[in-house]
A = this chain, B = another copy of it.
Amino acid sequence: MQDDDRTDAGGGANPPAGATNNPLIAKLESLAKLSGDDKDVLQRISANPQVVEPGTALIREGDKPDGVYLILDGIACRYKLRASGARQIMAYLVPGDYCDLDVALLKAMDHAIGTLSTCHVVRIDLDTIQGLLDRHPGITHALRLATLVDEATLREWLVNIGRRSADERIAHLLCELLLRLRAVGRTAGQGQSYALPITQDDMADTIGLAAVHVNRVLTSLQRRGLIAFSGQQVTILDLVGLEAFAEFKPNYLHLGGRDAA
């Protein structure tokens, strides 16, 4: 939809002042040092993204994966479907995220990947990836770190669903998204707000709740003055309060600077 608006909005609060607009570079730089050459290569890879409609499957369960998708704009996700049609979303792919560097080692995907919003996506074939890993140790290292963070995030989501109340779960998710989007320069305002182009249904399938209840919780969080919505733009009005409420500890994101190790 209005992705071009968002590009402007992102200009407000990019964290490493004067960073690229390239979310992959920004993400990897938040985890490790990259050389100028590394960045050039990554920039070249991100050229000419294709635009994908919301609700498009990029990879289906059972497929033998033959490439990697890099998200440059929008939100995609990993998910599984039950026979009943119930869906569980297991990860969000925000700008700078990519899927399954080395899943090519496996014979078949055990889950699907699809877009939640309109997305700008680049497909990178295996040879390109391999070349990258062979010739750019700095990138390789950063990508490995990123993989570890993905795993840590997955674990935190398990804690979220398993041991937090509905209100806490949503608060936690909103905190996480703020930090992740900040790291790739996709926040607006004073770095307190961001576009969240997903439906309440999507959010429900993310945190193991029913959509109706997600609605009630969001309403309640707004009434308490913790967050505000205007359309699909979320603003965290009281980050400290929201983090405390959700018992959010950002350590699992392993962000280089600001918050803990």
Does chain B have a CB within 8 A of A123? no
Interface residues on chain A, number (Cβ under 8 Å):
42
Oligomer: number of copies: 2
In the complex, the answer to whether B88 meets A159 with C-beta atoms within 8 Å is yes
Cα distance, A91 to B151, chains bound together (Å): 12
* Contact pick for A83, options B86, B106, B247, B254, CB 8 Å: B247
Interface residues of A in 74-90 (CB under 8 A from B): 78, 80, 82-83, 86-88, 90
Q: How far is the CA of A152 from the CA of B260 in the complex (A)?
A: 28
CB distance from A172 to the nearest CB of B (A): 11
Report B-chain residues with C-beta under 8 Å of the C-beta of A108.
251, 260-261
A144 and B83 CA atoms in complex are apart in Å by 31
- Per-residue CB contact flags for chain A residues 99-114 toward chain B (1 = under 8 Å, else 0) read 0001101111011000
Q: A87-B163, A158-B161, A163-B208 are in contact. List 4 more A-B contacts (CB 8 A).
A: A88-B158, A103-B148, A111-B155, A161-B161
Q: Which residues of A contact B (CB under 8 A)?
A: 78, 80, 82-83, 86-88, 90-91, 102-103, 105-108, 110-111, 141, 144-145, 148, 151-152, 154-159, 161-164, 205, 207-208, 247, 251-252, 254, 260-261
